[in-house]
Amino acid sequence: MHGLALALLIAYVVLDTAGQLVFKAVASDGRAGDGLARWRYMLARPWIWVGIGCYVAVFLVWIAFLSLVPLSEGVLLGALNIVAIMVAGRILFHERLTPLRVTGILLVAAGVAIVGAGS
């Protein structure tokens, strides 16, 4: 793989994982309350805007990456992300990884990779 493509791949996984973790942290903040008040609270957190910034950056990195590699290889990134976010959730939010959960997550990741390979 081209050096630039590899850099974009790493940027994609890191930015997407970071964005999702920030969203999870803001969404599960117990002080936020419910309903509209919860949204007012969440939208006033700087972190949610970091997450949205990550999203926009991921979109641009993705387009740049796809201009360097075929779509089928690009979709493999999606599979990588699923595993990265599972591991990050375990480390940062102490999410329990039961055998059934791990099996389910790995099957989804494999399925995404297979769909990519078949396109």
Partner 1 sequence: MKRFYLIGFTLLLAFDTVNLLCFKAAGMHALPLEMSMAWLLRVFSHPWVYGAIAGYIGAFVTWMSLLKHAPIGPAFAASHLEVVTAMALSWWVFAEPVSITQIVGAGVIVAGIICLAFAEGSEDTAGRIVPG
The footprint of partner 1 (CB under 8 A) covers 20-21, 23-24, 26-28, 38-39, 42, 78, 81-82, 85-90, 93-98, 100-101, 103-119
Residues 58 and 16 sit within 8 Å (Cβ to Cβ): yes
Nearer to partner 1, 8 or 116 (CB): 116
Shortest separation between residue 3's beta carbon and partner 1, angstroms:
25
Shortest separation between residue 23's beta carbon and partner 1, angstroms:
6
Q: Output the CA angle 68-72-78, nearest 5 degrees.
A: 90
Nearer to partner 1, 7 or 45 (CB): 45
Where would I find the beta strands (DSSP E) of the chain?
Answer: none
Report how far apart, in Å, the C-alpha atoms of 92 and of each of 8, 13, 30, 50, 67 are: 24, 16, 16, 17, 33
Shortest separation between residue 65's beta carbon and partner 1, angstroms:
18
